[in-house]
Amino acid sequence: MINVFLDALLLQAGYNAALVAFGAALLGIAAGSGGTFLFLRKRALLSDALAHSTLPGVGIAFMVMVALGGEGRNLLGLLLGSTISAVLGLLAVEWITSRTRLAEDTAIGAVLSVFFGFGVVLLTVIQTMSSGYQAGLEGFLLGSTAGMLFGDAVIITIGGALAVGLVLLLRRPMTLVSFDPEFAAASGVNVQRIDFAVMGLVMAVTIVGLKLVGLILIVALLIIPPVTARLWSDRTEHVVLTAGLIGGFSGYVGAALSASAPHLPTGPIIVLVSFALFVFSLIFAPARGVLAALLHQRRFRIRLHRRQGLLALAQKDAIRDRFTLAVLRREGLIRPDMAPTEAGRDAAAKVLRDESRWAMARRLHQHDKIPGRYDGLTPIESVLTRDEVADIDRRIEGSAGFGGGDGR
Amino acid sequence: MGAEFVQLSLTPLLIGILAAIACALPGNFLILRRQALVGDAISHVALPGIVVAFLITGTVSTWPMLIGAAGAAVVAVIVIEVIKRVGRIEPGAAMGVTFTSLFAGGVLLLEQSDTSGVHLDVEHALYGNLESLIWITAEGWGSLLDPVALADLPPELLRMAAVAFVISLLVAIFWRPLKISTFDEGFANVVGIPTAAISFGLVICAAVAAVAAFDAVGSIIVIAMFICPPATARLMTNRLEIQVLWSVVFATLSAVLGYVLAGYGPIWLGGENAVSAAGMIATVSGIMLAIACLIAPHRARIGTPKGI
């Protein structure tokens, strides 16, 4: 199994398998980077409606080709049919959202279920047809590379390459529009046309992916890589690049895995590979990951306990909380018998001074944002300028000198 | 309309109607809460639940499957919440990640396990087998009073009836809190309605409807009935009470018309074989929605002038 997998991974498992893996990688790159624009526009699930609405087109194209005397399974013909019905589905979503009061998610759900239902009706009609070679059509639901013709693999590879080319060509305006449509419009980009291009790209990915991943799961390839990439970066161009890499990797490894053993359907395997990458990222991503969140929380807790402990030291209160004691002891601020060390006394005095400065600052600046910055942790030097702090110090001394007046 | 109808069409028709109503009722609230795609997600994740239940018990029996699918729905809801909160990802994308991955896992499990001896495959999960739920021992309308024949009713019918009844009951009992929290969550919080619990309960309710209907009629009907009849009803009226009634009417109409068209339509057109009833029911509900979008009295957004 491992050997077969390695063979497939290193393109040794036969010409067709190699071409499929290559095509899947290209498709993954195009889907990941193209899907990012959709995701950033918060329209990720629109691609689900688009993918499901390809089914009637596949059925009708098959029937038309059989009626014209063909075999009915010419991939180009089927893809052309699916493109037409996907466009109709997309237009239906747009029409429902713009002309009626139904929300976009309702329109998406309605279009995807109705088009898919109608497609299933057509499939059952086709099953009862006597002519034509209908066995391959179910493969469009979940994708299948088993028994794929060489010509089909070539079509998928070329389609994937074209989609990647489109992303490269339009990445700047697409980034601009998905990041800030108003600014894009103001700087002379035709937002509507770019949105249209994004939809075209998504459409191309969906159509090319039909045979490989299947119409039910292709949406995963458009959503999971961008979401994963988003966990790693806040910069649009990095997200686009990372999503493309993740998508390409998932497509390549998934196709190779699927070729290495029987009963490993291509589409689900590709989706699961990208989901594994997503789970890994959710745990380990630097800013948004679970581990990062836990670390951040722990650091915050330590800072809080340190500050409260030092305040207690300065005011000569007894500290009872075990965690506070542990934090202070570890930093060498108190001795094992809880008496403060030299450094501890210094730090405590500093914290107490900071607190009294804050108290004064809050009295002085009641009407602006300064009091809102007080969280019991931030040193006042990081909020106010040195002059302002010096001014506060003078006022504190003054108020102490005049016996507790308010210093004004 | 004789013995043959009772034997072959009565039970599938009733199951279709009950499934449609059970899904349309929670669907009304889901579309108003902008959660229309929850039904879509749930019907996808039911597959891995059913497969896991099959792998554990080794049989295709009802209760393990229902529990498995419901469990998968709960897992999906939790995973979506985790992704949303931890990764700070927008809800739609979080949902997309979750349900596609779970569905992919279900398909893989199904392909890997030996299900050749039982009736369990992806196509069945998608299309259902409404047509096969016939009442084999019925001999005519008289069988409705015959306890021996009644004992032989397809179990799906009773199950679907029970689920539809429970959901109607729940909607009736929780009507006020449901309505208030759907339209004005802030106000609902202020008057002491536990909105989070209501929201979670609604999703669970939808999951139960989806799973029960899924088992009998496949996931296409489930998704279509969650959205199309309520959406059509939404265009008919501004009052929630009337909208829910309309949605039940549209759900019933879709089920009846869809079933009849699937069974007899091809024959009228000169064909011989019936087409997928589940697909046809979804198609009919879509046609109704399209007509409503064109002519229904309350189709426009408030504030947009009529005739545009």
8 Å CB contact of A120 and B127: yes
Identify the weakest region by mean pLDDT among A97-101, A253-257, A314-318, A342-346: A314-318
Supply φ then ψ for residue A334, to 5 degrees: -130, 160
**pLDDT (average), residues A221-249:** 91
> What's the pLDDT score for residue B305?
46
Residue A71 located in a structural domain: yes
Question: What is the average pLDDT across A353-363?
Answer: 84
**Candidates B35, B100, B123; nearest CB to A220:** B100
Question: What's phi and psi for A271, nearest 5 deg?
Answer: -60, -40
A169 touches chain B (CB under 8 A): no
Interface residue B112 vs chain A (CB under 8 A): yes
Contact with chain B for residue A265, Cβ under 8 A: yes
> Do A255 and A312 belong together in one domain?
no
What local confidence, expressed as pLDDT, does residue A109 receive?
92
If you average pLDDT over residues A385-390, what whole number do you get? 84
**For residue A74, is it within any domain?**
yes
Q: Please indicate whether, in this complex, the C-beta atoms of A227 and B97 are within 8 angstroms of each other.
A: yes
Closest CA to B22 of B285, B210, B255, B289: B210
The answer to whether the Cβ–Cβ distance between B96 and A220 falls below 8 Å is: yes
- Please check whether residues A261 and A319 belong to one and the same domain: no
Output the pLDDT for position A336: 81
Which residue is it, tokens 């509900």? B285
Residues A129 and A175 occupy one common structural domain: yes
Instruction: Give the pLDDT score at B118.
Output: 62
Q: How confident is the model at residue A349 (pLDDT cuts 50, 70, 90)?
A: confident
What are B186-231's pLDDT values in tens digits? 899 899 889 888 988 888 888 888 888 877 788 888 889 999 999 9
pLDDT of residue A147: 62
Interchain proximity A124–B279, CB inside 8 Å: yes
pLDDT grade, residue B252 (50/70/90)? very high
Please give the residue of chain B at the shortest CA–CA distance from A267.
Answer: B104
Nearest Cβ partner of B93 from A39, A108, A125? A39
The answer to whether A227 contacts B127, with C-beta atoms less than 8 Å apart, is no
Place of tokens 């948004």: A288
Residue that finishes a domain, picked among A252, A267, A282: A267
Q: Flag if B275 and A121 touch (Cβ within 8 Å).
A: yes
Q: Which residues pair with A334 in a beta bridge?
A: A340
Same-domain check for residues A243 and A355? no
- Are the Cβ atoms of A116 and B282 closer than 8 angstroms? yes
The verdict on A363 and A232 lying in the same domain is no
- Hey, which residues 202-241 in chain B have their CB within 8 Å of chain A? 220-221, 223-224, 226-228, 231, 234-235
Stretch among A351-355, B108-112, B237-241, B304-308 having the lowest mean pLDDT: B304-308
- Give the ipTM: 0.90
Residue of A278 and A286 predicted with greater confidence: A278
Q: What is the CATH number of domain B3-215?
A: 1.10.3470.10
User: Which helix (H) or strand (E) segment is B213 a member of?
Assistant: helix B195-217
- A222 and A146, same structural domain? yes
Residues sharing a CB contact under 8 Å with residue B170, sequence separation 6 or more, in sequence order:
B201, B205
Look up the domain containing A134 and give its range.
2-267
The more confident residue out of B21 and B269 is B21
Nearest C-alpha in A relative to B232 = A102
Six token digits for residue A83: 């493109």
Both A100 and A185 in a single domain?
Answer: yes
Residue in B with minimal Cα distance to A266: B108
A308 and A261 inside one domain: no
- Give the pLDDT confidence score for residue A130 in this predicted structure: 64
pLDDT in tens, B8-55: 888 889 999 999 999 999 999 999 988 888 888 888 888 888 888 888
In this predicted structure, the answer to whether residue B144 has a pLDDT above a threshold of 50 is yes
CA dihedral for B4, B6, B7, B11, sign (positive or negative): positive
A231 contacts on B by Cβ (under 8 Å)? 87, 89
**Residue B81 with chain A: CB contacts under 8 Å:** none
A285 within some domain: no
Question: Is residue A273 included in any domain, yes or no?
Answer: no
Judge if A249 and A138 occupy the same domain.
yes
Q: Is the pLDDT of residue B304 over 70?
A: no
Which among A96, A103, A124 is the nearest to B276, CB-wise? Answer: A124
User: Mean of the pLDDT values across residues B245-269?
Assistant: 90
- Say if A116 is an interface residue toward chain B (CB within 8 Å): yes
Question: What is the rounded CA–CA span in Å between residue A221 and residue A275?
Answer: 10
Single-letter amino acid, residue B292: A
> Would an 8 Å CB–CB cutoff place A123 in contact with chain B?
yes
CATH of the domain at A80: 1.10.3470.10
Q: Is A109 on the interface with B (CB under 8 A)?
A: yes
A166/A255 same-domain check: yes
Mean pLDDT of B275-292: 92
User: Looking at residue B307, what is its pLDDT?
Assistant: 43
> Which residues are CB-contacts of B82 (< 8 A; sequence separation ≥ 6)?
none
pLDDT for the residue A405: 43
Q: Is B270 left (phi over 0), alpha (psi -120 to 50) or beta?
A: left
Does A101 contact B299 at a Cβ distance shorter than 8 Å? yes
User: Structural domain tally of chain A?
Assistant: 2
In a domain, residue A177? The reply is yes
Dist CA A169 CA B135 (whole Å): 61
A261 and A295 in a single domain? The answer is no
The pair of structure tokens assigned to A166 is 């489109």
Nearest CA in chain B to A138: B123
pLDDT at A381: 79
User: B289 CB near a chain A CB, below 8 Å?
Assistant: yes
How would you write B230-256 as a 3-class SS string? HHHHHCCCCCHHHHHHHHHHHHHHHHH
Average pLDDT value for residue range A96-108? 90
Confidence at residue A11, expressed as pLDDT on a 0 to 100 scale: 63
Please, what is the end-to-end C-alpha distance for chain A in angstroms? 82
Per DSSP, the three-state class of A340 is strand
What residue type is assigned to position B75 of the chain? V
Long-range contacts of B192-200 (CB under 8 A, 24+ apart): B198/B174, B199/B33, B200/B77
Mean pLDDT, range B60-75, rounded to an integer:
81
pLDDT score of A404 = 43
Per-residue confidence (pLDDT) for residue A89, from 0 to 100: 94
Residue among B108, B273, B281 minimizing CB distance to A128:
B273
Residue A357 lies in a domain: yes
- The average confidence (pLDDT) of chain A is 84
Asked if A138 lies within 8 A of B123 by C-beta distance, the reply is: yes
More confident residue, A151 or A79: A79
Q: Which residues of A touch B275 (CB under 8 A)?
A: 121, 124-125
Question: What are the pLDDT digits (tens) for B70-126?
Answer: 888 888 888 988 888 888 888 888 999 999 999 999 888 888 877 665 666 777 777
Mean pLDDT score, B285-302 = 88
* One-character DSSP codes across B88-145: ---HHHHHHHHHHHHHHHHHHHHHHS--TTSS--HHHHHH--GGG---TT--SGGGGG
Answer yes or no: is A275 within a domain: no
Shared domain check, A309 and A252? no
Residue A131: per-residue pLDDT: 60
Distance (Å, rounded) from C-alpha B7 to C-alpha B3? 6
Is A296 among the domain residues?
yes
Asked if the Cβ–Cβ distance from A224 to B96 is below 8 Å, we say yes
* Per-residue pLDDT reduced to its tens digit, A146-177: 666 777 778 878 888 888 888 888 888 888 88
